[in-house]
Structure 1
Amino acid sequence: MKKLPLLASMLVGGMLLWQCQGNQKQQESANVETAPPVQRATYDFEEMTDPAEVPAEEWQKVEAGLLGSVASVDERYAKSFVPKLTPQTQWKGFAWKNERVYAQLALWTKEGAKAVEIVPGDLTSQDGATIAASAIRPAFLRYVMTDEFAGGCGYRKSVDFDSSLVADALDERQFFDIEPQSTRPVWLTVNVPNEAKAGVYTGTVKVQSEGNEALSFDLQLEVVNQTVPEAKDWNFYLDIWQNPFAVARFHEVELWSKEHFDLLRPLLTRLADAGQKCITTSIIHAPWGGQTYDHFEAMIDWKKKKDGTWAFDYTAFDRYVEFAMDCGITKSINCYSMVPWGNQFRYFDEALNGYDTLTLVAGSEEHNAYWTPFLTDFRKHLSEKGWLEKTSIAMDERKVEEMQGAINLVKSIAPEIKIALAGTFHEEIEADIYDLCVASRETYEKSVLTDRPIDKDKITTYYVCCTEEYPNNFSFSPPAQSAWIGWYAAAKGYNGFLRWAYNSWVKNPLQDSRFRAWPAGDTYFVYPGNMSSIRFERLREGIQEYEKVLVLSEKFKKENNQEALNKLQKALDVFEIKKFETVSGAEMVNEAKAIVDELSRR
């Protein structure tokens, strides 16, 4: 690895490519109803130069042509190195109905390959049942620049950190050119239909390219007679903060324009499909200061009139909330924040004919006087919209005295509005918190979890951020650590997980995931053009496992099957953070998954 400047390469063309993929013959051969061809977004851009030295002598030993093998979803394969794999052509998988499962192929070539295309076939069981080829979605993995943990939080210059290219973004274009002396992984997403019959399905995926013999990989998928609930019905409380302002900046469109919402829709729909419960709103200007490349503007306009009264314009707030709900995120609206970083509040002053900023500490008379008119008006507005019971004033990592001041004011003026907190656990305010989230290395007392069951309108979750080397979701983090997240929530009895950034993109997120303040990839899961990532897909996988554990637990309790419940608990006992000192996240995930798979066959 070598140290590189932060932005060593610029986006080439910046062209958004919309592709409609579908194989008519494959669809006609299916005996189940299939969806229409799917529009797939991708960007035409050049990857940054690999700082690794290409081992030319290793490539000279490679056979001619395009080569490939089934690979592990737990590994990221380096671009400039021959993958250390014993080539194999068969993949075996296991799934419930309505589950999404993943496979990975590694392709490599000494001379390069043009117009590489991945062509899935139908999966067919011995009794003739079919999972259509359209259920298998291939994506070429794209390489972005990453760095290293190196102490985690704190402002950093990339020249001080090791940098490397890492496979992360999932590009669903139909054709891809592979450079000479390089490796290109392919990610396969298999969406098992809800109506699929139980059985063992087999089929093939072919890899075609100009001038090369086609490669063929055999797939075998065992589908059992269990069903994963629809994502909208998942119990897991997922709260990943969205940043619509980054989307407007990157795509150079007007904020809240039709073009802006058109670009937001696939991103929010993808998030809803992972079980997202919470809409992130900024009710003041820059609630987190300037910590992200694109700071958060206020979705509500605050105006102090010349006579000293206040007026509030909720137009942007309403449009974004309604839009997010239309995309499938419907449970909660979190509003940031009465206790922002820096305690600064900007508003438009008619007397000045411009913006003014106040510094106010929560709990002070001045803070109460500033927020009282808003909370009174906001409560009325939320009630008229039917959102009052869904809304929380949200805070993160603030002083307990300041949070107490804000909580007391909300309770006195708008008691129906809930309180959400991501930060250190404080016993003195715990009872007032509806949505409580602490860092992964903190632990809740058992009595706290007992007193906060979800059916009593309490949410109890955990988060990871730049302070935790593991488990985490950095662009260099081993992929299984993202899947580990859901398992850990199940093991500890938490309702879900929070991550502070879904798409707070850096300057050139398609090429360089590094940022000035935190380890690379900390600020986003998904890429422009609605490209997902290994990290996001594996996170969703772990959430599915959480739901499967709940389904099995309920089943075995009804059957009074204590032996099966003990085995299920054994799977969950695997997950302890301290084990990362000696055991990888992949080992823990795969051990637990093997137990759950075995129990799923019952």
Structure 2
Amino acid sequence: MRKAGILYLLITLISNCNGQSVSQKSAKELVQVSFVNSNLRFIKGQKVHFKLEKSTKAKAWKGERLSLQFAVFSKIDIPDLMIDPIELINTNGESIKDIKARFLNYVKTDTYVPDCVKHKINAYDSLWVTDLIDERVSTHILKDIVQPVWLTIDIPKNSSTGQYKGKIIINADRKYELSLEINVIDHVLPAPEEWAFDLDLWQSPAAIARIHHVPLWSEEHFNLMRPYFNTLAKAGQKNITTSIINEPWGHQTFDDCPSLIKWIKKKNGNWEYDYSLFDKYVEFVMSCGINKRINCYTMIPWSESFLYHDEMLGRDTTIILKTKSEGYKEFWKTMLIDFTQHLKDKNWFNITSISVDERPLEDMKIAINILKEIDSNWKISLAGAYHPEIENDIFDYSIASKSLFKAKSLAKRKKAGKPSTFYTCCVEKYPNGFTFSPPAEHVWLGWYAAAKGFTGYLRWAYNSWPLNPSEDSRYTAWPGGDTYQIYPGPKTSIRFEKLIEGVQDFEKIRILKDLYSKQNRMRELKQLNQELSTFEIKSLEKKSASAMISNSQKIINLSKPD
């Protein structure tokens, strides 16, 4: 077994303790409870030592979703650990009641391996780490296994400014108590649908059908999908991921990625396209609150193969078409003329892009030319390498984290309202969102976007689950957790909640910058810009994301409007 991955996680765990020391005074107690850093991810069976914190204070904006963490350390089995309902109250009797205390589950993970190589699931380090935030009301604790609890506090937008205090009652072998104080400051965070941050996590509807054992596209399937898409909408998701061909990515994931459009070659040789499922799906996702953009994958599939139904043969068949071939152009030109009109009839054309993922530059040029020949207003989205040659033709452009847009180009794009984001995948060791990644790295992404002028962040998989994602996050091609950010249920995760925290910080930065500029508060603006200037990926080689974020968040949670 390789030791590097375990060492990486141990260093992460220790560094996230913020230098807390061993508590010798409480060593004889069988059960201990303590607040811990929410950027801490526990390793199952690994001994941890903390200076016990029986109380904590935090600051929050009105409208913010706040994440905190406490843990139960026990030397005995506790068959039925429960947390009493929590309420925070100010001196006027006003309360904050939307508070959830949820138990964290351990999932199996592995380690980072360069080059995204395929491998056996158990080829690398395997260990259990906390990530899944469960919804159960009680849990059974085994002795010597740390049981963390995730606190989610939604601050109402109409809350009064000031201090709110309350108690957390933990029912173990007896009752234990923690004290919590939240300082609601006089700033308001907009609702997620109003966030400027361009969040794009690609959705996998087939995985939901498989994991819940229901037929694909059945009424049960659509009913089960709704809470997943509602959850994503509340994180500020802008884009609907659609497949307009079968397997746009060459079936690299555990589940199928079927086309939402049925391509039919008639007996007379003409083409017909059935958009009924595409329409139903898009309308459904829009009803869940994701309605800004429709991204259609793809004109350039990884396998260069296209599935259609041949009426003459009476079956589905596949054709291989190289992008440079005349057959490719004719194949797509016929479809796109029809699809363009359909989108215009649905009043969706202006929010729809033909989307491409990491394809060669020359292939991109061909696809762009075909689209522009049909309608010069066609939008194209690309997640891939930075190509200045085609940048003007790309509406929604997400570039790899190692790259940056040229300053003048980025300013021009943002003025034109073009999403200009960055992405991470299996390539980057850090910053990232694997199940073994330090949780603060997901917050860090929001700060990096603000620092470099990006309009948001893209990640290729919201819910592309492996076989048993609630227990084992590993997959054959990429590091553990790379294929998903939430769990079946839906159940959220440390990673997803920290991603939301980073998006909220991005919004806070945007709001404060605008406020400082309008009010000529140059000192505060300079301080904020200086802090943003420290966010370089290379900085993570020497300083943890948790340490960087801890200092930076103090700046955006201190200021008050005049």
For the aligned pair, the TM-score class normalised by the smaller chain equals: over 0.9
The yes-or-no answer on 1:239 pairing with 2:187 is no
Shift of 1:125: 1.5
SS class of match (2:183): strand
* Partner residue, 1:93: 58
Q: 1:248 aligns with which of 185, 209, 213?
A: 209
Q: 1:62 to 1:254 in 2, by over 3 A?
A: farther
Distance in 1 (CA, whole Å) between partners of 2:2 and 2:364 is 44
Q: 2:279 aligns with which of 318, 324, 339?
A: 318
Shift of 1:66: 3.3
Distance in 2 (CA, whole Å) between partners of 1:424 and 1:203 is 50
The yes-or-no answer on 1:144 pairing with 2:144 is no
Distance in 2 (CA, whole Å) between partners of 1:2 and 1:181 is 25
The yes-or-no answer on 1:106 pairing with 2:71 is yes
Q: 1:214-229 counterparts in 2 under 5 A? A: 214-229=175-190
Q: CA RMSD in A?
A: 1.6
417-426 or 442-451: which moved more?
442-451
Q: 1:486 aligns with which of 446, 470, 477?
A: 446
Distance in 2 (CA, whole Å) between partners of 1:473 and 1:569 is 26
Q: Write the letter of the residue equivalent to 2:216.
A: L
Q: Write the letter of the residue equivalent to 1:114.
A: P
Q: Could you tell me whether the CA contact under 8 Å between 2:185 and 2:557 is conserved in 1?
A: no
Could you tell me which runs of 5 or more consecutive residues in structure 1 were left unpaired when the two chains were aligned.
4-57
Q: 2:435 aligns with which of 475, 488, 513?
A: 475
* Partner residue, 1:117: 82
* Partner residue, 1:165: 128
Identical aligned residues as a percent: 43
Q: 1:130-141 counterparts in 2 under 5 A? A: 130-132=95-97, 135-141=98-104
Deviations 1:365-420 (A, max 9, x none): 11111011210111111111111101000001101111111111111113333100
Q: Could you tell me whether the CA contact under 8 Å between 1:224 and 1:601 is conserved in 2?
A: no
* Partner residue, 1:584: 544
Q: Could you tell me whether the CA contact under 8 Å between 1:473 and 1:522 is conserved in 2?
A: yes
Q: Could you tell me whether the CA contact under 8 Å between 1:236 and 1:275 is conserved in 2?
A: yes
Could you tell me which runs of 5 or more consecutive residues in structure 2 were left unpaired when the two chains were aligned.
4-22
Q: Write the letter of the residue equivalent to 1:161.
A: Y
* Partner residue, 1:562: 522
Distance in 2 (CA, whole Å) between partners of 1:561 and 1:180 is 54
Distance in 1 (CA, whole Å) between partners of 2:239 and 2:255 is 21
Q: 1:81 aligns with which of 36, 46, 65?
A: 46
TM-score normalised to structure 2 length: 0.94
Distance in 2 (CA, whole Å) between partners of 1:386 and 1:207 is 53
Q: Write the letter of the residue equivalent to 1:590.
A: S
* Partner residue, 2:329: 368
The yes-or-no answer on 1:435 pairing with 2:396 is yes
TM-score normalised to structure 1 length: 0.88
Deviations 1:118-141 (A, max 9, x none): 123321122332212xx1111100
The yes-or-no answer on 1:201 pairing with 2:196 is no
Q: Write the letter of the residue equivalent to 1:68.
A: V
Distance in 1 (CA, whole Å) between partners of 2:550 and 2:147 is 25
Deviations 1:418-473 (A, max 9, x none): 100000011111100000110001111111112111x4131100000111000000
Q: 1:308 aligns with which of 269, 277, 295?
A: 269
Distance in 2 (CA, whole Å) between partners of 1:74 and 1:444 is 30
301-310 or 563-572: which moved more?
563-572
Distance in 2 (CA, whole Å) between partners of 1:87 and 1:515 is 37
SS class of match (1:324): helix
Shift of 1:364: 2.5
Shift of 1:251: 1.2
Shift of 1:179: 1.6
Q: Could you tell me whether the CA contact under 8 Å between 1:303 and 1:310 is conserved in 2?
A: yes
The yes-or-no answer on 1:509 pairing with 2:469 is yes
Distance in 1 (CA, whole Å) between partners of 2:459 and 2:480 is 15
Distance in 2 (CA, whole Å) between partners of 1:187 and 1:499 is 24
Distance in 1 (CA, whole Å) between partners of 2:48 and 2:61 is 31
SS class of match (1:509): coil
Distance in 2 (CA, whole Å) between partners of 1:369 and 1:552 is 51
Q: Write the letter of the residue equivalent to 1:491.
A: A
Shift of 1:215: 1.0
Distance in 2 (CA, whole Å) between partners of 1:83 and 1:206 is 23
Q: 1:456 to 1:569 in 2, by over 3 A?
A: same
Shift of 1:320: 1.1
Q: Could you tell me whether the CA contact under 8 Å between 1:552 and 1:600 is conserved in 2?
A: no
Distance in 2 (CA, whole Å) between partners of 1:562 and 1:444 is 27
Q: Write the letter of the residue equivalent to 2:238.
A: K
The yes-or-no answer on 1:545 pairing with 2:505 is yes
Shift of 1:62: 5.7
Aligned residues, how many?
541
Q: Could you tell me whether the CA contact under 8 Å between 1:170 and 1:531 is conserved in 2?
A: yes
Distance in 1 (CA, whole Å) between partners of 2:506 and 2:537 is 17
Distance in 1 (CA, whole Å) between partners of 2:37 and 2:191 is 27
Q: Write the letter of the residue equivalent to 2:538.
A: K
Q: Write the letter of the residue equivalent to 1:186.
A: V
Distance in 2 (CA, whole Å) between partners of 1:159 and 1:245 is 25
Q: Could you tell me whether the CA contact under 8 Å between 1:343 and 1:359 is conserved in 2?
A: yes
Shift of 1:535: 0.3
Distance in 1 (CA, whole Å) between partners of 2:557 and 2:521 is 17
Shift of 1:64: 5.4
Q: 1:337-356 counterparts in 2 under 5 A? A: 337-356=298-317
Distance in 1 (CA, whole Å) between partners of 2:86 and 2:124 is 44
Q: Write the letter of the residue equivalent to 1:71.
A: V
Q: Write the letter of the residue equivalent to 1:305.
A: K
Q: Could you tell me whether the CA contact under 8 Å between 1:152 and 1:469 is conserved in 2?
A: no
The yes-or-no answer on 1:419 pairing with 2:380 is yes
Distance in 2 (CA, whole Å) between partners of 1:105 and 1:600 is 29
SS class of match (2:307): strand
The yes-or-no answer on 1:182 pairing with 2:145 is yes
Distance in 1 (CA, whole Å) between partners of 2:150 and 2:405 is 37
* Partner residue, 1:36: none
Distance in 2 (CA, whole Å) between partners of 1:131 and 1:409 is 55
SS class of match (1:412): helix
Q: 1:266 aligns with which of 211, 227, 246?
A: 227
Q: Write the letter of the residue equivalent to 2:142.
A: E
SS class of match (1:507): coil
